[in-house]
Amino acid sequence: MTTRQLIKDPLNLIIIGVAGQGNVLISQLVGNALVSEGYLVTFGQTYGSNQRGGSVMNYVRVSREFQCSPLIPSGGADVILGMEPLDALRMLIQFGNPDVVTIVNPRPIGVAGRPIDYPDLDVLLDTIRGLSAKTWVVNATDEAQKLGDPILANMILAGSLVGSGVLPLDETSMAPVIRERFPADFESNMAAFRKGIELYQVLN
C-alpha cells in the first residue's frame, strides 16, 4: 500500500481526450487502483460527440471520507489531464482555478466540428501555463512511437499522472490493475507507464 495521501479531499480529476485516445482506460485504471487503496471513487463521463473523433470528458472524484456526486462543478478541478492541447484549454476555461494542476500531451488532433485552422501550438501551451498553477507538457505520443506503438501514449500519460504525486498512488499500487487489464501485454504497458514516470521526473 502506498504511503501517499490525498493532496485535497475530495480531489477532483478531469481526464479529457478525443474518443479513441484511451482516456476512459486511464480513468478506469486510476479509479480501480484508488479503490484498492481504500478510497471512495466516483466516476462520471460526458461526451462532446457520440462518435469516434469527438471529445470525451471523464470525471474522477476521490475521497477518503464520502462518496461524491459524479460531475465536477465549474471551477472545481484540482487536476486536469489533457490528452490533446485544445481540449485541455477548454477544460481549464470551464473547470480551472488558480490552484489547478495541468498535465498535457502537446500533440494536436483535428476532430469533427473544430476549425480548420488549429491554434498556434506555442501560444496554446503558453495559455495553458498561464491558467494553471503548475503545467507539465508530456510528449506522450512521440515517446509512444519510440516504444513501437502510438496507442501506448495513454499509459505514458497515466505514468506521468501518477508520477506527479497528485494522486495517492505509485507504481506498486498501479501494477496489479495494469496486469489485470492487460494480462497478455503487461510488460509493454508497464514499460510505457514507467516511461511516463520518467518523463515527469525529467520535467522537474
Given a cut of 70, the residues of the chain with pLDDT beneath it are 1-3, 47-54, 110-116
pTM of the model: 0.92
What pLDDT score does 50 carry?
Answer: 44
Tens digit of pLDDT for each residue in 57-99?
A: 999 999 999 999 998 999 999 999 999 999 999 999 999 999 9
CB-based contact 87:19 (threshold 8 Å)? no
What pLDDT score does 38 carry?
Answer: 95
Contacts (Cβ under 8 Å, ≥6 apart) of 83: 15, 16, 17, 18, 21, 22, 23, 105, 140, 153, 154, 157
Question: What domains can be seen in the chain, in order of their start residue?
Answer: 11-203 (3.40.920.10)
CB-based contact 188:150 (threshold 8 Å)? no
Q: Which residues of 190-199 are buried (b: 16+ CB within 10 A; e: fewer)?
A: bebbbbbbeb
What pLDDT score does 114 carry?
Answer: 53
What pLDDT score does 116 carry?
Answer: 55
What pLDDT score does 2 carry?
Answer: 64
